[in-house]
Structure 1
Amino acid sequence: MDLAATHQAMQFDGVPFFGRLALRLASQLRCGTVHVRLPDHRMVTLRGQLPGPSATIELNNYRFARSLVIGGDIGMAEAYIRGDWTTPDLAQLLYVLCLNEDLVDNAFAGNMLVRLCRRAVHLLRRNTRQGSRHNIHRHYDLGNEFFAAWLDSSMTYSSALFPAETADLPAAQEHKYEQLAQAIELQPGQSVLEIGCGWGGFAEFAAKTYGASVLALTISKEQHDFARRRIHEAGLAEKVEIRLQDYRDQDGRFDRIASIEMIEAVGEQFWPAYFNQLNQRLKPGGLAGIQAITVSDELFGSYRQRVDFIQRYIFPGGMLPSTNILRALGERFEMPVIRERLFGQDYARTLSLWRDNFSQAWTDLTALGFDEPFRRLWEYYLCYCEAGFRAGKIDVGQLVFARRG
């Protein structure tokens, strides 16, 4: 008698079809342990072939299992947003799943028709000029009050770079700006084009600290209005212009270009246009500093063939490049990479701090009209990204491209 099989059958007794199927698939863990609390409060422990971290998932009903089997990783996220399951530590659970990416990508790939439909929708969200405005509006124009409630005082929505373990988030964000400015060898009086300026943090820093003359672009009206007011209040209106404009419509030549976590929203189809614009806007010998979130070179091939949770719900039309692709695009457009620095674990820490801030600010956010499914959506987003950086599946770095000539 196969005692293990008999024990498993007893564990799954009374579990509906999709629940049994999901548990059997999940039992293929490569490493780590997942403790599953069933809706009837029984516990099932799934152990990987190799040791690793452990996490717990608590099922409130079996709709979760159907969503997971049919919808894959996105179905799992949707079930969390609906409240079909919960966990004492969402970031830890997603981290364990990241370490078992083969299981997630293969056993829980989801129904083929569902995947094809998602892919078709994603392709329709291309970042043309009109598409970019629509896609950006869906995310950034949630309102300045929303982001101000949980970002640090600099309103910086990109990875910090921590100079020391004891550094707080505002200090780490300023350190990130300083490192980028040094990397592009910024000098007083130089002209800087910033592509994707957010709420104006780097533009203010470059003008105030380095005496640079900055033209900063955004296509978010909420960000544009906030950044203009910020620059005026800082007394830097003669040094900084905030312009509501697509980067493809900019002309002129600049000594330096800065672009912080904007290329992720460009879309693969438009990466050549983005790099061509960098080339055309830089003076000969000029430097462009790009801070970019990247997917590992090994995973890029499979990543680009599917639509993930971020593309579906957070950044429609977006796509992460790999560092090799960025280097190749630089060479193609006569701008080789001359230096780079990767700091993915700093992003994991940044996201953890954002998540804490978001949780603490939730009472204030409900007053702005945000509901419980929205809270779970954003909690999942922040934890999903944190887990990816912790597991090394994605990274972030500052790359400096030098225009030949």
Structure 2
Amino acid sequence: MKYKELVLKDIPLDLNEWKKKLLIHFFSKLEEGHLIVTENGNLVGEFGNHQSDLKAEIEILKPSFYSKFLFGGSIGAGESYINQEWQSSNLVNVIRVFLRNYKTLDEIEKKYTWISRIGNHVIHKQRKNSKTQAKQNISDHYDLGNELYSIFLDNKMMYSSGIYKNGNENLNEAQELKLNAICEKLQLSAKDHVVEIGTGWGGLAIYMAQNYGCQVTTTTISDEQYQYTKRKVKELNLENKIKLLNCDYRELTSSYDKLVSIEMIEAVGKEYINEFIKKCSYLLKDNGVMLIQSINILDQRLKSYSQNVDFIQKHIFPGGFLPSLTLLSDKFTKLTDLVIRDVHDIGLDYAQTLQDWHINFKNNFYKIRNDGYDLRFYRLWEFYLNSCEAGFLERNCSATQILLTKRDHLGKISRI
């Protein structure tokens, strides 16, 4: 049945049935992966390449799923999942199938989600990271409670990708390898004064001070992270090595030997990337070295990504924006005298990190279930963690450690 025939024939009869048939029509355009859709125990259809190694299934629990997906696109599908309108035994694979068929998903969003897209854009624009709004945006995610993050992160509370050198490391080992790689690339020594933009829960600052003896100035605008790190630094008697600040990075003024920022640039926002990059250069001495670990959207998807709002920007990281690798390279070149010396892609390591986080989250959620984290919250975070894992596995996004030096830095660099 042609698309025009489907619309003209079925709209007058049953609007819900029309929505279902129209969405199934789009599903029939899937070319990659194999998707099985069932409803009330009955097969709705099998779509895509039946011989594909990537297999996924969706069990529709409520007919409102069709409307949410059709008129809400990928955001609507996520919200529908939170509302228990559908489920899957392998959520990662479901999302991978749709990422692999992004042209079909883009077609749905272009034709039918324009009303919801307008609303999402308005909300997203209101969340751009001015100094005042940045603190609120960070609080909305990072101040959900240290107990939440403690149930799925490693023993150092690192909320960023680890490095799985051999592929069989556990989460604690992978994060230790990441910390070591950062410090070795920066060639840290006891004579260095390092500035860290984005403290997290203090894992990197503490690691640098304990293992390399350097002075560390680290800043965060998350009140919960600040209080947690303050207690940790005091417990470890590192107050003479670590200066902890609760202020916006834009307020920093001194000059430092080394600079490090781990997965903080994503929280800066599209409108403030230039300011962030220029600030990094300003904070470094003339022979300084810096390393940023960044999540990057695929270069070829940057234009589409920049013009839209996704599920994570709406529900997880308000004000967030993933720069592409080429965008960052261009910005550093045009705005500073910093030179990129090394780029290390750890995108697949991030997929493994997210899988480990999800396993921990699922196994330990019972510990916080009575603290206000309900089933909707659980499904929100399950969708978040699984969609991120799918994104890295499909290489829709990646993560990189980027090592840069000032133009006057003439020394060798360290590759790990």
Normalised by the length of structure 1, the TM-score is: 0.95
CA distance in 2, matches of 1:176, 1:388: 21
Mapping of 1:334-373 within 5 angstroms? 334-373=337-376
CA distance in 2, matches of 1:111, 1:325: 28
SS in 1 for 2:55: strand
Distance 1:397 1:20 in 2: 42
Is 1:227 aligned with 2:229?
A: yes
Paired amino acid for 2:21:
R
* Residues 162-181 of structure 1 aligned to structure 2 (within 5 Å): 162-181=164-183
Q: Which of 190, 195, 208 lines up with 1:206 in the alignment? A: 208
The aligned counterpart of 1:401 is 404
2:30 touches 2:104 (CA, 8 Å); kept in 1?
yes
Q: Secondary structure at the match of 2:72?
A: helix
Write the mapping of 1:385-396 to structure 2, written as runs, cut at 5 A: 385-396=388-399
Residue equivalent to 1:63: 64
**Distance in 2 separating the partners of 1:52 and 1:30:** 13
1:153 is displaced (CA, Å) by 0.9
Cα distance in 2 for partners of 1:259, 1:217 equals: 10
Q: State the Cα distance separating 1:49 from its structure 2 match.
A: 8.8
Partner of 1:275: 277
Q: Which residue identity does 1:265 align to in structure 2? A: A
Give the counterpart of 1:215 among 210, 214, 217: 217
- SS state at 2:211 partner: helix
Deviation at 1:145, TM superposition (A): 0.9
Q: State the 1:390 CA deviation.
A: 0.2
**Structure 2 spans left out of the alignment, 5+ residues:** 409-416
Spell out structure 1 runs of 4+ moving beyond 4 A: none
Aligned residue identity for 2:364: A
Q: Which residue of the other structure, out of 158, 166, 189, is the alignment partner of 2:191?
A: 189
Taking a change above 3 Å as real, the CA distance of residues 53 and 335 of structure 1, as seen in their structure-2 partners, is same
2:94 corresponds to 1:79: no
State the alpha-carbon separation in 1 of the partners of residues 58 and 248 from structure 2: 43
Task: Measure the CA separation in 1 of the matches of 2:122 and 2:51.
Answer: 38
Q: Do 2:193 and 2:216's aligned partners in 1 also have CA atoms closer than 8 Å?
A: yes
Query: 1:112-135: per-residue Cα shift (whole Å, max 9, x none)?
Result: 122122112111101000010010
What does residue 161 of structure 2 align with? 159
* Paired letter, 1:383: N
Number of aligned residue pairs: give it. 397
Aligned residue among 119, 130, 133 for 2:132: 130
Are the equivalent residues in 2 in contact too, given 1:28–1:48 (CA < 8 A)? no
Separation in 2 of the partners of 1:99 and 1:41? 26
Write the distance in 1 (CA, Å) between the matches of 2:18 and 2:199. 50
Give the whole-Å Cα distance in 1 for the aligned partners of 2:34 and 2:253: 55
Tell me how far apart the structure 1 counterparts of residues 192 and 359 of structure 2 sit (CA, whole Å): 38
1:324-335 → structure 2 map (5 Å cutoff): 324-332=326-334, 333-335=336-338
Please give the residue correspondences for 1:288-299 in structure 2 after superposition, counting only pairs within 5 Å: 288-299=290-301
1:283-304 Cα deviation digits (max 9, x unpaired): 0010110000001111111110
Computed over aligned residues only, the root mean square deviation of the Cα atoms, in angstroms, reads 1.9
CA apart distance, 1:22: 0.8
Matches of 1:47 and 1:385, distance apart in 2: 22
CA distance in 1, matches of 2:99, 2:64: 23
Contact in 2 for aligned 1:38/1:44 (Cα 8 Å)? no
Alpha-carbon distance, 1:167 to partner: 1.2
Does the 8 Å contact 1:297/1:322 carry over to 2?
A: yes
- Deviation of 1:97 (Å): 1.3
- Take 1:393 and 1:247, find their aligned partners in 2: how far apart are those partners? 29
Corresponding position of 2:385: 382
Looking at structure 2, the residues matched to 210 and 89 of structure 1 have their Cα atoms a distance apart, in angstroms, of: 43
Give 1:218 shift.
0.3
Query: Unaligned 5+ residue runs, structure 1?
Result: none
CA–CA distance in structure 1, aligned partners of residues 289 and 331 of structure 2: 15
Q: Secondary structure at the match of 1:303?
A: helix
C-alpha displacement of 1:52: 4.6
TM (norm. structure 2) is 0.92
Q: Distance in 2 between matches of 1:79 and 1:98?
A: 18
Q: Contact 1:330/1:401 (CA < 8 Å) preserved in 2?
A: no
Deviations 1:286-338 (A, max 9, x none): 01100000011111111100000010000010100011111111112111111
Post-superposition offset of 1:107: 2.4
Counterpart amino acid of 2:362? S
Could you tell me how far 1:51 is from its partner in structure 2?
A: 3.5
